[in-house]
Structures are given as C-alpha cells and as structure tokens.
Amino acid sequence: MPLKADTICRDMLVMEVIIRKNGEECGLVAARIVAKCLQEKEKPVLGLATGSTPLQLYGELIELYRTGTISFKECTTFNLDEYVGLDHSHPKSYHRYMADNFFGRVDMCAENINIPDGTAEDLRQTCQEYETKIEQCGGIDLQILGIGSNGHIGFNEPMGSLSSRTWIKILSKNTIKDNGRFFKDAREVPRHVITMGIGTIMEARHCLIMACGWKKSEAVKAMIEGSVTAQWPASALQFHRRTTAVLDEEAASLLSHREHYAWVEENMMPWQTY
C-alpha cells in the first residue's frame, strides 16, 4: 500500500541535500517539489519566500501553470516576511514583489494570499493574527526558504531565538548591506521587518530551502554540517522533520560530504524522488 504524503512527512526525519550545476537546474528541481505538493494535497498551504533565489523557481512554476500541469486555485499561501513601513504598492515591498513575479501570473485566488502587513497600525496584533491564521488553515504543508549569507532564514537574524514566532525584528547590518542591492542606496533599506519566527517555520510539514552562489557557501555548510546554534539560524533546520536543501555547485562548494549526499539521492525510494 503506497504511503500518503502526510504519512511520509511525519515519518521522515532527514535533511535531504540535492546539488545541481546552476540556479536554473535548482529551479527545475524545486518546482517539481512544489508541484508534487500541489498534486498530492486537496487544499495545499504553501509558505513563500522572496529575494533573488526563488525567482527561478517562480518562473518554472508559472510555466507549469501555463502548460496546465498545476493550478493554484485551491492553494493558500503565507509569505515569510515584509518590510515595516513600505506601502504595499512600493516597488521594493514584498507585496509588490509577489504580485509582479508570481501571483499576477498564475491562477491564485486573492482571498487566499497572505503577506505580513508592515503598514498595520498595531504591528504586534497583526503578528499574532498571522500566527492564528496559519493555525486555522491547518499549518503550512511546504515552506519555501532562502538563506542569507549570515545564515538567516526569513528575517531571523543571528543570535535570535530558535523558537521565535511571527514578530517584528530588527535587521542586522549585514542583511541591510546585502539587501542594499535591491534599493538605490543601502540607507533606504528599512531597519524593521515582520517575519515568521523560526518556531513557526519549524512547524511546516516540509521545508524547501534554496541557495545559489558562493556567497551562500559558508552559511550552507554551517546549516547542514555545523553545530545547531543561534549564530547560524538556519542550522535549526537540522532538527526539522523534513527539510530539502537544493543547492547549486557554488553554494555547496564547502560541504565535506558531497559524495554521501549524491549517494543518498541516487538510492532514494521511488516515492522519495522528485
């Protein structure tokens, strides 16, 4: 009797490491993982990320939608984070990013889209309501993540709590510098954000984390092969029930056990493959 997707997620305690040549190939693998979730779940709940890394994934998902392979009509989404103080139409807001790069190009129902409101009058209340809504939807089936060069996931910066919930966070100087490339000047990057906490992320049934480029290699090594520590927030995923890391060659360049990860992928059971 074949295992159902929910059973697979509950029974697997593993970090899968998938290494591909470049970002394009990473996007193809990640898209197959998302498509599998959409096809196996009647009303799937996706956690979505922003930034440069997921763009290849979103492009592949849009193409799968255009060919009729997948649909997002029954899907509910929760974005990881949003800047505090940026209007939803601001060109650098994550509301705008998602509309331009994904939501406006597939058949998502607007009422099923959830993004933290960084313009809310009461930021604390909106964080609590976000947590409640995730719970009311039955939790997140597949959480898409990127990783910062300092190891942050969402906007959970180093030395923060590894059990935090959705809340208002202060960006580190490193993240402000990294995100400055999306603005005319790093001084324009907001200092505050709303982000899902690591505790929230860890409750997703499956986490899919993508990393491309050599700038992410140190953080990737710490996440997969290092100690679990608040110094590298993504390392908390070592305790997650099912995490899949999809990496390009440069991001994986510092890993010590690449042959092992390739061996594991080659010998997966049919229901484990993508």
CATH of the domain at 223: 3.40.50.1360
Provide the domain count of the chain: 1
Residue in the block written with tokens 């491309």: 212
Residue 9 inside a domain? The answer is no
Residue 6 inside a domain? The answer is no
Assigned token pair, 214:
């050599």
pLDDT band at 14 (very low <50, low <70, confident <90, very high): low
Question: What are 134-160's pLDDT values in tens digits?
Answer: 999 999 999 999 999 999 999 999 999
Give the residue numbers annotated as catalytic, written as ranges: 81, 150, 152, 157
- pLDDT attached to residue 9: 43
Sequence-ordered list of residues with C-beta below 8 angstroms from that of 66, at least 6 positions apart, any chain: none
Q: How far is CA 85 from CA 14, 119, 141, 203, in A?
A: 38, 5, 29, 28
What's the first-to-final CA gap in the chain, in angstroms? 20
pLDDT band at 27 (very low <50, low <70, confident <90, very high): very high
Question: What are 198-209's pLDDT values in tens digits?
Answer: 999 999 999 999
Residue 4 inside a domain? The answer is no
pLDDT tops 90 at residue 121? yes
- pLDDT attached to residue 213: 97
Taking alpha carbons only, the member of 93, 65, 70, 66 closest to residue 81 is 93
Q: Which domain holds residue 213?
A: 16-266
CA torsion 176-179-181-183 (nearest 10°) is -80
Question: What are 85-112's pLDDT values in tens digits?
Answer: 999 999 999 999 999 999 999 999 999 9
CA distance 156 to 260: 30
pLDDT tops 60 at residue 177? yes
Residue 45 inside a domain? The answer is yes
- pLDDT attached to residue 65: 98
- pLDDT attached to residue 146: 98
In the chain, alpha helices (H)? 5-11, 23-40, 55-66, 94-101, 123-136, 173-179, 198-202, 217-225, 258-266
Coil vs helix vs strand at 170: strand
- pLDDT attached to residue 89: 97
pLDDT tops 80 at residue 115? yes
- pLDDT attached to residue 55: 97
Residue 204 inside a domain? The answer is yes
Listing DSSP states for 40-99 in one string gives H-SS-EEEE--SSTTHHHHHHHHHHHHTTS---TT-EEEESEEETT--TTSTTSHHHHHH
Task: Work out the average pLDDT over 41-54.
Answer: 96
Side-chain half-sphere exposure of 11, counting CA atoms within 13 A: 8
- Rounded to the nearest 5°, which phi and psi values hold at 210? -115, 145
Higher pLDDT pick, 10 / 59: 59
Q: CB 204: neighbour CB atoms within 10 A?
A: 26
Residue 272 inside a domain? The answer is no
Q: Which sign, positive or negative, has the C-alpha torsion 260, 47, 68, 8?
A: positive
* C-beta of residue 140 within 8 angstroms of C-beta of residue 104: no
Side-chain half-sphere exposure of 178, counting CA atoms within 13 A: 17
Say what the pTM is: 0.93
pLDDT tops 70 at residue 6? no
CA distance 53 to 99: 17
Amino acid at 131: E
